[in-house]
Amino acid sequence: MGSSSLVERSSSSSSSSSPRLASKELPPVTDLESGYVSGTSSTDGSSSQLPQVTLTQPHVKHLNQQLEKLSAMDRLRFVKICFPNLYQSTAFGLTGLVSTDMLSKIEKEYPNSSPVDLIFLDTLYHFQETYDLVQRVKEKYPNIRIHTYKPQDANTTAEFEERYGEKLYETAAELYDWIAKVEPQQRAYSELNVAAVLTGRRRSQGGERDKIGVLEVDEETGIIKINPLVDWSFTQVKEYIAENNVPYNELLDRGYKSVGDWHSTSPVSAGEDERAGRWKGQAKTECGIHNKKSRYAQYLQDLQRKAEEEQLTAALKKVEREQKAGVPSLTA
């Protein structure tokens, strides 16, 4: 990969691909959920410009049966050949860092193969240790290109809070997840024409991840999702990191196992699940990016319904006032 690949792309706004957040401007609910019915193509429910990658459910099942037999490195070798416009979505957690290191090794094996760029969703609320890690990853893997996406129209935490309010993650957690994570991801997938994406999910992380396959089709976007280390344990991941001198988040040495935003991440105790420190005390295990069915489409649907109810209530009150004042109603 040439020196031009070192350019980092940072994007915080795109009016053409960003969902509108005000209830009066909500997109039709049918548009939000248009990808639910098929879930078999890398273009279903997403941009029509994405390259076509269509998999039937029997095909997905067959591929998973074969991919389960392969090592993580061989899975990565296979998907690099098989899927166009392949990216890695990462928050620089341990599992994602293993994949990044493996990809760098594969690139040395096949220097003419297509590179796998990284997509980093910068919520603006990451730990400083996470931002420091990003710089160390760039130094360790200088040929890897990182596309950084931030919340729309916000480049700093101050700008975010000025636009959306302070502590939105507490006052409206669903809306926060949409603005800080889901919308930037959708914008990234649209602008980069993503057809397939590598994730750092593993079954041993528990929660909703305990039955995932190596390969999935996202039911909402239609994008192919690949989990190359799906069958690895946390111990295996740590051992690889140590043996291959892979940079990692310093918070891991302070009792953290899964690191996200500073306001929703805490250390875990001995014997707790790996992701027990995420949203501790809340009935929540995912931020929405990996949910099978979008909670955000439902959230926007509720907003739309509420706006319609408010409009109906206002209209009824107007009619009532006009009747009391003796003004003929248009419906009379």
**Rounded CA gap, 199 and 214, in Å?**
10
Give the confidence band of 299 by pLDDT, cuts at 50, 70, 90. Answer: low
Closest to 216 (Cα-Cα) out of 61, 33, 52: 61
Report strand pairing: 117-121 vs 86-89: parallel
DSSP three-state, residue 89: strand
Q: pLDDT tens across 161-206, in order?
A: 999 999 998 898 888 899 999 999 999 999 999 999 999 999 988 7
pLDDT in the model for residue 262: 84
With residue 152 as reference, give the H or E element that holds it.
none
**Rounded CA gap, 194 and 196, in Å?**
6
Q: pLDDT tens across 253-274, in order?
A: 887 877 889 888 876 656 555 5
Residue 301 has pLDDT above 90, yes or no: no
**Rounded CA gap, 137 and 126, in Å?**
16
Closest to 183 (Cα-Cα) out of 163, 207, 166, 200: 163
DSSP three-state, residue 207: helix
**Rounded CA gap, 266 and 280, in Å?**
7
Tokens of 40: 């078999």
Give yes or no: 82 in active site: no
DSSP line for 146-186: EEEE-STT-SSHHHHHHHH-TTHHHH-HHHHHIIIIIHHHH
The alpha carbons of the chain give a radius of gyration, in whole angstroms, of 22
DSSP line for 209-265: GTT--SEEE-TTT--EEE-TTTT--HHHHHHHHHHTT----GGGGGT-SS--BGGGB
pTM: 0.72
222, 93 in Cβ contact below 8 A?
no
246, 98 in Cβ contact below 8 A?
yes
Q: How far is CA 21 from CA 27, 33, 148, 156, in A?
A: 9, 16, 22, 19
222, 41 in Cβ contact below 8 A?
yes
pLDDT in the model for residue 331: 52
Structure-token match 């360790």, residue found:
140
- Sheet with 86-89: list strands edge to edge: 9-11, 146-149, 117-121, 86-89, 196-198, 224-226, 215-217
180: Cβ–Cβ under 8 A, 6 or more apart, which residues? 121, 123, 124, 125, 151, 160, 169, 261
| Candidate list 32, 287, 297, 300, residue with the active-site label | 287
**Rounded CA gap, 225 and 158, in Å?**
33
Higher pLDDT, 282 or 186: 186
Residue 306 has pLDDT above 90, yes or no: no
79, 198 in Cβ contact below 8 A?
yes
